[in-house]
Amino acid sequence: DQQVKQNSPSLSVQEGRISILNCDYTNSMFDYFLWYKKYPAEGPTFLISISSIKDKNEDGRFTVFLNKSAKHLSLHIVPSQPGDSAVYFCAAGSARQLTFGSGTQLTVLP
């Protein structure tokens, strides 16, 4: 049973608009969450994280929102750029390991 779910395998957005990637989790013991971006033929690279004691973290064009009551987090990218086209993984962390979602392919159309 997947503890971290990304229910949208793909998302297409027009350049300049907002991209919203969603992630749901089931384990309330997770105490931090991360987003990774992956280009083809490369390993995932860290993008942004949030502690479970916060509900928002912002870094430039990237903002992560955490709704603990709904066990839901989202990544907002605004404005979206063609270079943002990649697979985005959310991950949830507990004492010793990260649990990853299956990823969402984001395509930003010029």
Partner 1 sequence: ETGVTQTPRHLVMGMTNKKSLKCEQHLGHNAMYWYKQSAKKPLELMFVYNFKEQTENNSVPSRFSPECPNSSHLFLHLHTLQPEDSALYLCASSQQVSGTANEQFFGPGTRLTVL
The pair of structure tokens assigned to 109 is: 């159309």
Rounded distance, CA 74 to CA 57, Å? 11
Q: What is the length of the chain? A: 110
Binding part of the chain for partner 1, among 21-29, 60-68, 69-77, 100-108 by CB under 8 A, reads 100-108
Partner residues linked to 66 by β-bridges: 73
Closest to partner 1 by CB, 31 or 58? 31
User: In this chain, which stretch among 13-21, 64-72, 73-81, 92-100 interacts with partner 1, using CB under 8 A?
Assistant: 92-100
Residues 22-51 that bind partner 1 (CB under 8 A): 31-32, 34, 36, 41-46, 49, 51
Judged on CB neighbours under 10 Å (0-12, 13-18, 19+), 13 is: buried
Nearer to partner 1, 49 or 74 (CB): 49
* Residue 2 binds partner 1, judged by CB under 8 A: yes
The one-letter amino acid code at 2 reads Q
DSSP 102: -
Sites of contact with partner 1 (CB under 8 A): 2, 4, 9, 31-32, 34, 36, 41-46, 49, 51, 89, 93, 95-103
